[in-house]
Structure 1
Amino acid sequence: MMKKNVFFLLCLILVGFQSSYAQEVPKEPENIISPEVNADRTVTFRFFAPKADTVQVTSDFLPPVKVMSRFGLVDGPGTINLTKDKNGLWSYISKPLDSELYSYSFVVDGIKTTDPNSPYALRNSASMTNIFIVDKGRADLYKTNDVLHGTVTHNWYPSAGLKMNRRLTIYTPAGYEQSSEKYPVLYLLHGAGGDEESWAAHGRAIQILDNLIAQGKAKPMIVVMPNGNVVQDAGYGYGKDGFYKPQFLLPQSMNGVYEANFMDIVSYVEKTFRVKNNKENRAIAGLSMGGFHTMHISRYYPNTFDYVGLFSAAIMPREDATGKVYSNLDETLKVQKNNGLKLYWIAIGKDDFLYQANIDFKKKLDGIGLKYEYLETGEGHIWKNWRIYLAEFAPRLFR
């Protein structure tokens, strides 16, 4: 009888232990939904870490904070604490958010990490961040909607000047394969830390062009997205060097070599694709370092592009900017002006660390009489602005 009572007591203890364990640990942690965009436009973030002391989310929807960079103090994403429940599940619900594509990461006990419950992440230089979209507004342009879609290919072009074959991302509009029509071309350049994948990934260039063309707001066009890091044949993990530690600003990226050899790209595109190969049907635009490249390419080849877009352009003095490309700035800008342009377009955020440099450049253009259009937005040096700039710039092209 005693043995039976002991066995019964042990069973009760085991059942109680199992019941307690089931309450403390979610039955299926892998099914946690994070982030969850709610009907009221708030967003719920969740992270399962029962042994963690602190979990935070850092995101561009939070008020920015100043962080130190190689360029001095710049705006970085804000951070806020999650709250832990009795099961070890941390959570945070945001305020209602505007329609936008947002990036975020978690910080667990001081260590930055991606969201294990979301596969939607992008790389910029050496860092990874998750993304989500709040729709019903501007971000509808950044979604893959039920419209006719263009084609994205990765092509390799021969660069005699750089002595290597190099990778391009190329968008052709819906209907390109079925037609014999020739198309205008936009050359779209990335910034420091990016590569030929950046505009398609972070910039949502493919979705923006698909949607604008489907709405009749932009002309069907080919978009060429090159790699501006001349020491690479392709972006990290896509070229002959395989997997190696990414670097924010690679050597020779802003010393004139890229600009001097840019026509290798134009020649390849015009030999390979059905394009209208004249000035009136070529546009070039870029963000940050790509804006720096755009300004110099367009004046170094002053009768090549009728449309020029500078998005938060890194127009600033550089010690390595000693190549022939950078000489005679004022004189070549005057030649570019005299040759005529249909659109010279400058956009910058009022909190961008490059704001004053762009204001000074506008004064230079005023001084030589080169007409331009100017867009000033809020916030700083962020992808949110560059997506807006592309969505504003593309409808102005080839009209």
Structure 2
Amino acid sequence: MKKIILLMLTALLIQAEVFPQEALFRAQNIISPEVHEDNSVTFRVFAPNAKEVQVTGDFLPTVKVDSPMGQIDGPGKAALTKDENGVWSMKTAPIGPELYNYSFIVDGFTTTDPNNPFLIRDVASAFNIFIVGGGHAELFKVNDIPHGSVTRRWYDSPGLGMDRRITIYTPPGYEKSTETYPVLYLLHGAGGDEEAWINLGRTAQILDNLIAEGKAKPMIVVMPNGNVIQDGAPGEGSRNMYKPQFMIPKTMDGTYEGAFEDIIKFVESNYRVKADKANRAIAGLSMGGYHTLHISRYYPNTFDYMGLFSAAIMPREDATGKVYSNFDETLKAQMDNGYKLYWIAIGKTDFLYDANQQYIAKLDSMKMPYEYVESEGGHIWRNWRVYLSQFAPRLFQ
């Protein structure tokens, strides 16, 4: 009897050891991507039955691709070669410091790297990521410094008739401090949501590092959802899990801008902030740049700092609401009220480049002060992360 009990206990112990390790047996002993000392990178994937494997990502030279916005810069492709064990690989030349994204294309099917667990979602697409360190890419890393906190809160929006989800970064030491802080409202682009800036934009890492280096003032960063028919990001709101879309109804018809005071009131009622114009900033990328332009003009004595990152400055058929009326008069009122910084940045090959030049010409004709930054590249997160790292140190000085 004792022998039977001992055998049963042994069997149970073996099961306890084996089944939690199931994921290990499924794993491949492959390192991909492997960043070498000279900043070259090797990609590997086990696909013994594949006939062709390619890698595509923003570490490769850009090509023109079709998109809902017309032709834009997109990532190129590079071929991998197969060894006798069925492992495909490709080693790049040394590449510059940056946070990069990539995917594999196996016999025409685009897929993520099974050996890299680090992924991000951009609209409805998932990509693997890796960082080549040095230079400005050090701002994108989690370094051994004091860290802020990131919370997802729900706020009441009477203007939109619903509770809505919002992402808020508070600087290191906020919880134990009695200080009050300035606020940056940071807005996403079309297809994004309240997850975009914190995940794709590396907002927490950038702010943590800039604050630790003494290059930026400790600040609260508020990242709302600009899609007014959503209460939260796909998978995070009351509609639960559904496929995200690039353009959602009512995102650029004035509804969001008209209800933006709900967000400001929530923040200033629930956080220790300096609730005046000198301590409020607003910035956004693409559609968020469009929202920034109109929110700061519609509430012309509310923000001292504005940042337009690759702003979607273009005529729209649905831009007929009250927010868009009296454009010239309200823009002049914003100028006459005074502000500290009106900052415009765009890439030389951005499909919105010409529209931004036309807007700059308008500001020039009005003698409205602004600062202009022109970078390489197009309508890409690589630019927007850099723009945030350049804009944040200019705030609240």
How far off is 1:194 after superposition? Answer: 0.7
Distance 1:385 1:394 in 2: 14
Q: 250, 274, 277: which is aligned to 1:276?
A: 274
Please state if 1:209 is matched with 2:207: yes
Instruction: Kindly report the root-mean-square deviation, in angstroms, between the aligned alpha carbons of the 2 structures.
Output: 1.0
Residue in structure 1 matched with residue 314 of structure 2 by the alignment: 316
Residue in structure 1 matched with residue 4 of structure 2 by the alignment: none
Matches within 5 A, 1:20-59: 30-59=28-57
Distance 1:206 1:70 in 2: 30
Matches within 5 A, 1:1-399: 30-399=28-397
Q: Would you say the 8 A contact 1:133–1:139 is kept in 2?
A: yes
Distance 1:324 1:158 in 2: 22
How far off is 1:30 after superposition? Answer: 1.3
How far off is 1:131 after superposition? Answer: 0.4
Q: Would you say the 8 A contact 1:150–1:171 is kept in 2?
A: yes
Q: Which runs of 5+ in 1 are unaligned?
A: 1-26
Residue in structure 1 matched with residue 15 of structure 2 by the alignment: none
Distance 1:103 1:28 in 2: 24
Identity percentage of aligned residues: 66
Amino acid at match of 2:297: R
Amino acid at match of 1:62: L
Distance 2:281 2:267 in 1: 13
Residue in structure 1 matched with residue 18 of structure 2 by the alignment: none
TM-score of the two chains, using structure 2 as the length reference: 0.93
Distance 1:91 1:229 in 2: 41
Distance 1:72 1:213 in 2: 38
Q: Would you say the 8 A contact 1:29–1:48 is kept in 2?
A: no
Q: Would you say the 8 A contact 1:279–1:305 is kept in 2?
A: yes
How far off is 1:164 after superposition? Answer: 0.5
Distance 1:94 1:230 in 2: 43
Distance 1:195 1:60 in 2: 22
TM-score of the two chains, using structure 1 as the length reference: 0.92
Distance 2:315 2:39 in 1: 43
Distance 2:202 2:265 in 1: 26
SS of 1:30 mapped into structure 2: coil
Q: Would you say the 8 A contact 1:298–1:305 is kept in 2?
A: yes
Distance 1:151 1:357 in 2: 37
Distance 2:334 2:27 in 1: 60
Stretches of 4+ aligned residues off by more than 6 angstroms: none
How far off is 1:82 after superposition? Answer: 0.5
1:141-162 CA distances to partner (integer Å, 9 max, x unpaired)?
A: 0000000000111010100011
Amino acid at match of 1:264: D
Q: Which runs of 5+ in 2 are unaligned?
A: 1-24
Amino acid at match of 2:111: T
**Mean alpha-carbon deviation: is it higher for 264-273 or for 192-201?**
192-201
1:302-345 CA distances to partner (integer Å, 9 max, x unpaired)?
A: 00000000000000011111111111111111000000010000
SS of 2:28 mapped into structure 1: helix
How far off is 1:357 after superposition? Answer: 0.5
In the alignment of these two chains, the number of paired residues is: 373
How far off is 1:29 after superposition? Answer: 5.9
How far off is 1:28 after superposition? Answer: 8.2
How far off is 1:281 after superposition? Answer: 0.2
Distance 1:236 1:30 in 2: 31
